[in-house]
Amino acid sequence: MNNRYDFLFLFDAQDANPNGDPDAGNLPRIDVESGQGLVTDVCLKRKIRNFVAMTGGGQDGKRIYFTDGSVLNELQQEAHNAVGIPEKDSKSPKEGKKDEATKWMCKTYYDIRTFGAVMSTEINCGQVRGPVQLSFARSIDPIVSSEHAITRSSVTNKKDAEKERTMGRKFTIPYGLYKAQGFVNPFLAAQTGFNDEDLELLFTSLENAFQFDQSAARPAGSMNPRALLVFKHDNALGAAPSHKLFDLVTVAKKPGVEVPRSFSDYEVKIDKSAIPQGVTLIRRI
């Protein structure tokens, strides 16, 4: 892969909790000063990992390293076995052998090849800095967190059958349009083996990030990708700084809209006349 890429991802949430904060009772994440909603980069990467895992069928190259319940040392031992590192050298393998184990992990696991990983624990496979980085997503306007009381009609034990129904809480936001930014480093891509096919899978994953992610907190149709704008540079170094390209895209409420409740309440403008020479804008959505 010989090109640098910058991309901007817009998605919205309606009557859903896009990313609950476990340190705040699972309330939607929020910037307490501005009131804007937040979705972490880790949350977005999880959507990508889940999509790749679901569509990859577990085949090498599309396996996922960070999955629920996985024992990472066991996965790293698999790499040591593949390249012939003896157990006595697990913590400090010879440099050449450790590099082989690192390459094996990159080749086998999509998320290591894409986002990187620290694998220098008890069974040492080195460290990888991934070529793809994502920012926190931030809502265009302040959000409001709504609290809903819910009741549980069933009980766990027979002795509780006569008790009053248990009360609970559920949190949603009425509406929020979020913007995240991403970057693909071709120099790091060369080191991990991240190629054009992997890049296409990355963008496809973002386009389908919420299609198979429905839950009680994110019901069907409550979260949707709205725009994926990709700036492709004609070389590895790039033809313009990332922030100048992102500044070409403005997202704002349409005139007369005070309280946005749908994507149609916003207008996305792109100053195509100011796109530098050597940069091509590709609108995926």
Region 93-106: mean pLDDT is 96
* Confidence at residue 166, expressed as pLDDT on a 0 to 100 scale: 67
Q: Residue 159 above 80 pLDDT?
A: no
Region 85-107: mean pLDDT is 96
Pairing of strands 249-253, 146-152: unpaired
* Confidence at residue 158, expressed as pLDDT on a 0 to 100 scale: 75
Q: Residue 35 above 70 pLDDT?
A: yes
Secondary structure (3-state) at 261: coil
Q: How far is CA 258 from CA 10, 66, 140, 142, 252, in A?
A: 20, 42, 13, 12, 11
* Confidence at residue 113, expressed as pLDDT on a 0 to 100 scale: 98
* Confidence at residue 164, expressed as pLDDT on a 0 to 100 scale: 65
Give the pTM. Answer: 0.94
Better-scored residue on pLDDT, 154 or 104:
104
Q: What is the enclosing helix (H) or strand (E) of 266? A: strand 266-270
The count of domains in the chain is: 1
Pairwise CA distance, residues 64 & 70, whole Å:
10
Pairwise CA distance, residues 275 & 248, whole Å:
8
Pairwise CA distance, residues 75 & 72, whole Å:
5
Q: Which domain holds residue 199?
A: 5-283
Q: Residue 26 above 70 pLDDT?
A: yes
Residue 276: DSSP 8-state: P
Mean pLDDT of the chain: 95
Q: Residue 165 above 90 pLDDT?
A: no
Q: Give phi and psi for 102, each to the nearest 5.
A: -60, -45
Q: Residue 247 above 70 pLDDT?
A: yes
Q: Residue 83 above 90 pLDDT?
A: yes
Secondary structure (3-state) at 226: strand
